[in-house]
A = this chain, B = another copy of it.
Amino acid sequence: MTEPLDLTGLQRRLAEFAAARNWQPYHTPKNLAAALSVEASELVEIFQWLTPEESARVMADPSAAPRVTDEVADVLAYLLQFCDVLGIDPLAALDAKIARNERRFPVPGPDDGSAGRERSES
């Protein structure tokens, strides 16, 4: 694989893959958003009966680990294809969101006992 591993390169390979199979008519933003959510749920499924502690050790389970990696790939694939068809830059979107969240959720001071008591951003 000589192609560099960056989002843009992967996005181009995904677009070529879909085009070569005439899948573009299926790749409406609505369908790609649904497919993204389906793959995210397949990731949830791996964890649904695990305790928090078991979930932290999931990559040590040789039957679960490759499934986790595979679902990560599927989520990223649909996210990139979704962004591609709509002309959205996912890195710029996240950069702007982090900046916004830094203003919305100021870091508590050292004497502020509330730190970590609540977790409610979205």
Does A108 interact with chain B (Cβ within 8 Å)? yes
Q: Which of B42, B52, B90 meets A28, CB within 8 Å?
A: B52
| Contact A47 B68, beta carbon cutoff 8 Å | no
A-side interface size class: 35 or more
Complex contacts, A70 vs chain B, CB 8 Å: 93, 97
Q: Which of B7, B38, B43 meets A36, CB within 8 Å?
A: B43
Binding site for B on A (CB under 8 A): 1, 5-7, 10, 13-14, 17, 20-23, 25-26, 28-31, 33-52, 55-56, 58-59, 68-70, 72-77, 79-80, 82-83, 85-88, 90-99, 101-102, 105, 107-108, 115-116, 119-120, 122
